[in-house]
Chain A
Amino acid sequence: MTKYIVRRLLQAIPVVFLISVVCFFLMLLAPGGPQAQFNQNRFVTQDQVNAWLQHWCLVRNPGPLDMLKEYGGWLGVWNCHAGSLLSDQNLPNFLPGFLGGGDNGMLHGDWGISIYLNQPVADVILGRLPVTMLLMTTAWIIWLTLALLLGVMAAVKRYSIFDQIVTFFSYTFYSLPTFWLGLMLIYIFAVSLHWFPSQLIQSPRISPGPFASSVWWTAFWTNPGKYGWDVAMHLVLPVTTLVAVSVAGDSRFVRSAMLESLNQDYVRTARAKGLGERRVIFRHAFRNALLPIITNGALEVAFLFSGAIVTETIFSLQGMGYLFIQGLQAHDYFLLMGIVFIGAILVVVFNLVADVLYAVADPRIRYD
């Protein structure tokens, strides 16, 4: 199993590499360039723009070779300040620092600097990670519980009123645009009813500092109830938005996986043995229906990450999705690359988690 996991991770390297190439060149090939943000600014001279570009190791209107160099700089193969493939120690730049390689680029753990925020990308992302993690984890748990509960019940009580209600709601919610649902929830529960806040992860009035920063944690431990409750209230609408659409789709999925399982011969065998319905359903049918659900549940994490873009934008949550939109608006190459990279890692890891869990749950599957 360990061998399998290592092999899968090694196989993922070229794919992640390719996606970084695609994404980087997509941005470089676009007309305008990062200097476009100064186009409207009368106070910035051309020389200043050039100096600015040089500072970031970028080139105005890059040719193919310039693009390769820029990408090489991001990756850590190209020593852009020396303009060479060799590090300052005259050794190949891609080598680790202690072997005389360079110190720039992803290979050396340097995610670059956010042009827009003028901070290291890694720091920016780390600062925004807690909000996204909290949002996604909460949504994931609620999503899983609801989808399983509704799906299994609907399958077991197939064609009943309950099943039809679940079917109706899942069709409706599945077709609603997530962001529009968010807007409507804001209108109903925040603007009209004033039940829940519609913006940010905590109220500015009580906020001791950025969410999950060390200042925040210190304050939190003095009064967990107060700060925890505040964050929880702020999470209600975003999580509802994020969960509603996913649950709609996945309760259908669970239902059909469960129905498929209930129709299998071994379920009939279990009944023929004289087992009780509960045992037939939950031990024999559900255990097998779980197999596709596990895969789906792990893959859902990547989907929730996309959903975070939508919800964080609408609810102004200072997480990675919101950061991504800000980076897009500012054409912030390195920040965008950093977030896409995280997305790629999430996909790789959870695909692997799905496969490993599948092997654990299904004795027929052996990886070696």
Chain B
Amino acid sequence: MTSRIELPLGVEASVQSTGPGPERSDDVEVALKSLGQWQLAWKRFLRHRMALVGLAVFSAIALIAIIGPIVAPYNPIDIPGAKEQGGDPPTLQHIFGTDDAGRDVFTNIINGAHISLAVGLFSTLIAGVIGVIVGALAGAAGGFTDNVLMRIVDVTFAVPLLFLILVAAVFFGQGSVISLILVFGLLQWGLIARLVRAQFLSLRETDFVEAARAVGVSNLRITFRHILPNALGPVIVVMTLLMASNIVLEAFVSFLNFGIAATEPTWGNALSNSQGAMGDGNWWWAFFPGMCIALTVISINFIGDGLHDALDPRARL
């Protein structure tokens, strides 16, 4: 029932566009543009409180990732040696404690932030760009092209993706950040391609595309002007979630020592190094990097949630 009484925000917009005055019937496209689809989405996003909190937290993390190495309290390269075996517990000097070599865990986290975020962001962008191109191609072209492209996508879905990613990371990763980004990106576009294709197929049947076709808009223009912008909403949402999951994935791959070289202070490496210390009761060494991952991921997920509501109001529950 709630869904049927649907008037938030769109009300003014719909009044503008449905005004059936005979003098305005010919500029349908102008009327649509005046809706300000993205402005409307932004307005809706601003109303999503948790998404705003997520955005604030994520911005803070991103800021730390960028300026972090400058403000970090200790030099990450110093190895002062810990007082206790397996690292010192949190104190006022070392708020997150130290690792077994006496390095400040807080400093390590700050220095690792940019790698985690970079892996998450760039691998997702690669997957997104390839996925949108392939999906749009398959959805717009149809027929043989569609068939071939979708069979290729099927292959990446034929096995739990983690297996392929681990195999590729082990055999090609070689501890470098860039190769890990490429491995993640090149193996994950299938999901986005499928989504874009599905959007294309359903949008192709919508009334507004039919209408555009009826007034003689070219196929190319329909694809880029009418379908693609509408297909992008869900894609952005999925990409946000993918970015969050890639940050966890990087940590896991590094945790297994298959990811970024152990000398880099990434969050995953911190967890990997601390694994043995857990049995000794040195919780802080693993706890704080994990909390940072969780905090980053939860803030991104909230942003994704807000984007979901903002970009696809019909799906709101």
CB of B252 within 8 A of CB of A179, answer yes
CB of A347 within 8 A of CB of B168, answer no
Total A-B Cβ pairs within 8 A = 131
The interface residues of chain A lying within 8 Å CB-to-CB of B158 are 12, 15-16, 18-19, 344, 347-348
Chain A nearest Cβ from B273, distance in angstroms = 12
Q: Quick one: which of B151-170 are within 8 Å of A by CB? A: 151, 154-155, 157-164, 166-168, 170
A22 within 8 A of B: yes
B144 within 8 A of A: no
Cα distance, A20 to B224, chains bound together (Å): 37
Cα distance, A361 to B266, chains bound together (Å): 48
CB of B1 within 8 A of CB of A27, answer no
User: Which of the segments A82-90, A122-130, A167-175 contacts the partner chain?
Assistant: A167-175
User: Which of the segments B25-33, B80-88, B125-133, B283-291 contacts the partner chain?
Assistant: B283-291
CB of A180 within 8 A of CB of B301, answer no
Q: Quick one: which of B1-36 are within 8 Å of A by CB? A: 1-3
Chain B nearest Cβ from A22, distance in angstroms = 6
CB of B286 within 8 A of CB of A15, answer no
User: Which of the segments B104-112, B195-203, B292-300 contacts the partner chain?
Assistant: B292-300
CB of B159 within 8 A of CB of A344, answer yes
Chain B nearest Cβ from A107, distance in angstroms = 18
CB of A328 within 8 A of CB of B162, answer no
User: Which of the segments A51-59, A208-216, A304-312 contacts the partner chain?
Assistant: A304-312
The interface residues of chain B lying within 8 Å CB-to-CB of A32 are 171
Contact flags (1/0) for B189-218 with A, using CB distance below 8 Å?
Answer: 000000000000000000000000000000
CB of B286 within 8 A of CB of A180, answer yes
B317 within 8 A of A: yes
Closest to A341 in B: B159
The interface residues of chain B lying within 8 Å CB-to-CB of A1 are none
A10 within 8 A of B: no
B115 within 8 A of A: no
B172 within 8 A of A: yes
Contact A260/B317 with A172-B298, A177-B290, A184-B290 known, Cβ cut-off 8 Å: yes
A26 within 8 A of B: yes
B275 within 8 A of A: yes
Cα distance, A105 to B183, chains bound together (Å): 29
Cα distance, A29 to B172, chains bound together (Å): 9
CB of B160 within 8 A of CB of A303, answer yes
Q: Quick one: which of A13-71 are within 8 Å of B by CB? A: 14-16, 18-19, 22-23, 26-27, 29-32
CB of B160 within 8 A of CB of A19, answer no
CB of A347 within 8 A of CB of B255, answer no
Partner of A192, one of B154, B166, B281, B287: B281
Cα distance, A26 to B287, chains bound together (Å): 35
Cα distance, A339 to B160, chains bound together (Å): 11
A157 within 8 A of B: no
Chain B nearest Cβ from A173, distance in angstroms = 10
Closest to B287 in A: A184
The interface residues of chain B lying within 8 Å CB-to-CB of A187 are 278, 281, 283, 286-287
Closest to B4 in A: A263
The count of chain A contact residues (Cβ–Cβ below 8 Å) is 54
Closest to A302 in B: B160
The interface residues of chain B lying within 8 Å CB-to-CB of A23 are 159, 164, 167
Cα distance, A15 to B171, chains bound together (Å): 23
A336 within 8 A of B: yes
Cα distance, A343 to B162, chains bound together (Å): 10
Closest to B248 in A: A177
Partner of B163, one of A313, A329, A339: A339
The interface residues of chain B lying within 8 Å CB-to-CB of A177 are 248, 251-252, 290, 293-294, 297
Cα distance, A166 to B3, chains bound together (Å): 23
CB of A347 within 8 A of CB of B171, answer no
Cα distance, A325 to B258, chains bound together (Å): 10
A183 within 8 A of B: yes
Contact flags (1/0) for A325-347 with B, using CB distance below 8 Å?
Answer: 10011010000100110011011
Cα distance, A305 to B160, chains bound together (Å): 7
CB of B278 within 8 A of CB of A191, answer yes
- Which has the most chain B C-beta neighbours within 10 Å: A180, A259, A306, A347? A180
Contact A328/B170 with A15-B155, A306-B160, A340-B159 known, Cβ cut-off 8 Å: yes
Partner of A15, one of B151, B168, B252, B298: B151
Contact A324/B163 with A175-B298, A180-B271, A180-B293 known, Cβ cut-off 8 Å: yes
Cα distance, A340 to B159, chains bound together (Å): 7
Chain A nearest Cβ from B217, distance in angstroms = 34
CB of A268 within 8 A of CB of B167, answer no
CB of A313 within 8 A of CB of B159, answer no
Partner of A191, one of B159, B166, B279, B297: B279
Beyond A175-B298, A192-B281, 17 extra complex contacts between A and B, CB < 8 Å: A12-B158, A23-B159, A23-B164, A27-B171, A32-B171, A175-B297, A177-B251, A177-B297, A180-B271, A183-B290, A184-B283, A184-B287, A325-B166, A340-B163, A346-B160, A347-B157, A348-B158
Residues of A bordering B, CB below 8 Å: 12, 14-16, 18-19, 22-23, 26-27, 29-32, 171-172, 174-180, 183-184, 186-187, 191-192, 256, 259-260, 263, 268, 302-303, 305-306, 309-310, 313, 324-325, 328-329, 331, 336, 339-340, 343-344, 346-348
Task: State the 3 A-B residue pairs at the shortest beta-carbon distance, nearest first.
Answer: A30-B171, A180-B290, A175-B298
Can you list 25 pairs linking A and B with CB atoms under 8 Å apart? A14-B151, A18-B155, A26-B167, A26-B168, A29-B171, A171-B301, A172-B298, A177-B251, A177-B252, A177-B293, A178-B248, A183-B271, A183-B278, A186-B278, A186-B279, A187-B283, A187-B287, A191-B279, A192-B281, A306-B161, A313-B256, A324-B163, A324-B166, A346-B160, A348-B158
